[in-house]
Amino acid sequence: MASAAEVERSIRSLMKKLADASPAPDSIPDRTILCVLPDLKTAYRVELKKAKLRGLRKAETNEVTDARITARSDDLIALIDGRLGVAYAFLTGKVKIDAPASDLMMLRKLF
């Protein structure tokens, strides 16, 4: 099981990777995303605005957001690092995504 600090570092690296990629601001819709980590009994919330992830903070696991990703800490880190494919993780239940169908493709772009 990864630590909360490792998860935060990984999410911050995803934030930087997306910023460095400089996607067009209108290519990804603005959303709030909650990452729930049951093994750590915690959650993190980020805002996706103008194709940039911002405002990483700890959150309550029941916070209302546009998209919700639930995964074990190790699986979330593997997903962000590219060692775990989004489709495989979703289909095998390693990652659960609660979001409108149109947002599933958007989330795939992030990873």
Half-sphere exposure (CA, 13 Å, Cβ side) for 21?
Answer: 18
| d(C-alpha 96, C-alpha 110), whole Å | 15
Within 13 Å of residue 92, how many CA atoms lie on the same side as its CB? 9
Regions of the chain where pLDDT drops below 50: none
Instruction: Give pLDDT, residue 109.
Output: 63
Kindly list the structural domains of the chain, giving each domain's residue range(s) and its CATH number in brackets, ordered by start: 4-100 (3.30.1050.10)
Give the integer Cα–Cα distance in Å for 70 and 17: 21
pLDDT at 108: 65
How far is Cα 48 from Cα 78, in angstroms, rounded to an integer?
21
pLDDT for position 106: 66
What is residue 51's predicted lDDT score, i.e. its pLDDT? 83
